[in-house]
Amino acid sequence: MVDPTSDLEEDVDEESAPRCATCGEPALGTGRRTVTWVDGDDAVYRQFCSQACRDEWTDERPSTGG
């Protein structure tokens, strides 16, 4: 399966796809969502299979205090 959200348009099968942080299903295709943030010197991200799973996610990003 060619992942249309991949910049490289590389083949991604369900077994090697990232897993949804909410439900654990493969995060593939155009419905996939990613949340990225910086924690210290590290870039951290969570992948989601859909906007619905993204909305259900318990946000673990640190508060900016602003």
Range of the structural domain that residue 27 is part of: 16-56
| Residue 10, domain member (yes or no) | no
Identify the pLDDT of residue 26.
93
| Residue 8, domain member (yes or no) | no
| Residue 4, domain member (yes or no) | no
| Residue 29, domain member (yes or no) | yes
How many domains does the structure of the chain reveal? 1
DSSP letters spanning 13-60: -TTTSPBPTTT-SB--STT-EEEEEEETTEEEEEEESSHHHHHHS---
Task: Please give the model's pTM, rounded to 2 decimal places.
Answer: 0.75
pLDDT tens per residue, the chain (66 residues)? 455 555 544 667 788 889 999 999 999 888 899 999 999 999 999 999 999 999 999 998 887 655
